[in-house]
Amino acid sequence: NAGVTQTPKFRVLKTGQSMTLLCAQDMNHEYMYWYRQDPGMGLRLIHYSVGEGTTAKGEVPDGYNVSRLKKQNFLLGLESAAPSQTSVYFCASSYPSQFKTRPTDYDQPQHFGDGTRLSIL
Amino acid sequence: AQSVTQPDIHITVSEGASLELRCNYSYGATPYLFWYVQSPGQGLQLLLKYFSGDTLVQGIKGFEAEFKRSQSSFNLRKPSVHWSDAAEYFCAVGNTGGFKTIFGAGTRLFVKA
């Protein structure tokens, strides 16, 4: 049981290049999240998804796009990378589908991947 | 404005000593409160959470936290620290339905022999 898996783990880009970060979870979770972590700032939510085919903006969505075509995957795209996007990116998931109601527990990120360290030169 | 403050950027404690990590929050509604731990090179792991009820919450790895509404605090404690507890700890506040969990900047814990 892998939990939440992020690929790649490290990447260096040049300004203006594009790339996609992949997040995969095998826990049948409905909710998935993308965060960025910067020194001294904690985690900030970029985008999130409450289910297959749905996405929504978080606190810092500018410069990023996301897609949730399959329930188990949540992709984060950078169309034109900028040095300000140098960060560590974390994916998280929560809310097992077997719950018929929506318990308050599961609005919060429960399981995190190990992160993707992205540097943009 | 909603915010979470962790006043200590880093703390050093001796192995076997007690630990208290501070967390203060500002939140308009009844808060849901969380503590996460992050080991180097890894993602965050949920230690414990408070939604309602008993203000003393037990978590994993021997940690506990106490919600004090009058002080707007949710401090994390452990009676005896182990070397494996060295990590970064994040306090977070949120509520249901809004996906607006706010994370503090973190406190890095160093454990000395």
Chain segment B8-60, per-residue pLDDT in tens: 999 999 999 999 999 999 987 778 899 999 998 888 999 998 888 889 999 99
Tokens representing residue A67 in the block: 């897609």
- Using CB atoms, pick whichever of B43, B98, B100 lies closest to residue A114: B43
| Interfacial A residues in 45-64 facing B (CB < 8 Å) | 45, 48, 56, 58-59
Token pair of B67 as six digits: 């919600």
Of A4, A42, A107, the CB nearest to B99: A107
What band does A110 get if pLDDT is binned at 50, 70 and 90? Answer: confident
Q: Helix, strand, coil shares of chain A as percentages rounded to 5?
A: 5, 55, 40
How many Å apart are CA B58 and CA B83, to the nearest integer? Answer: 20
Tell me, what's the pLDDT at B51? Answer: 83
pLDDT above 70: percentage of residues in chain B: 97
Tokens describing residue B27:
């939140």
Distance CA A115, CA A35 (A): 9
Q: What pLDDT band is residue A106 in, cutting at 50, 70 and 90?
A: low
- Predicted local confidence at residue A16, as pLDDT: 96
pLDDT of B54: 87
Contacts of B95 in chain A (CB under 8 A): 107
| Cβ <8 Å between A4 and B94 | no
What secondary structure does DSSP assign to chain B, as a single string? Answer: --EEE---SEEEEETTS-EEE--EEE-SSPPEEEEEEE-TTS-EEEEEEE-SS-SEEE-GGG-EEEEEGGGTEEEEEESS--GGG-EEEEEEEE-TTS---EE---EEEEEE-
Q: Does A81 touch chain B (CB under 8 A)?
A: no
In this prediction, residues A14-27 reach a mean pLDDT of 96
Per-residue pLDDT band for A40 (boundaries 50, 70, 90) equals confident
> Where does the pLDDT of residue A6 fall: very low under 50, low under 70, confident under 90, or very high at 90 and above?
very high
- How high does pLDDT run on average in chain A? 89
Task: For residue A6, give the 3-state DSSP assignment.
Answer: strand
In the structure, what pLDDT confidence band is assigned to residue B108 with cuts at 50, 70 and 90? very high
Q: Which of residues 16-55 of B touch A (CB under 8 A)?
A: 32, 34, 41-46, 49, 51
Contacts of A44 in chain B (CB under 8 A): 103
Any bridge partners for residue A21, and if so which?
A: A76
Query: Rounded CA gap, B103 and A41, in Å?
Result: 8
* Residue with the larger pLDDT of the pair A72 and B100: A72
Are the C-beta atoms of B92 and B102 separated by less than 8 Å? yes
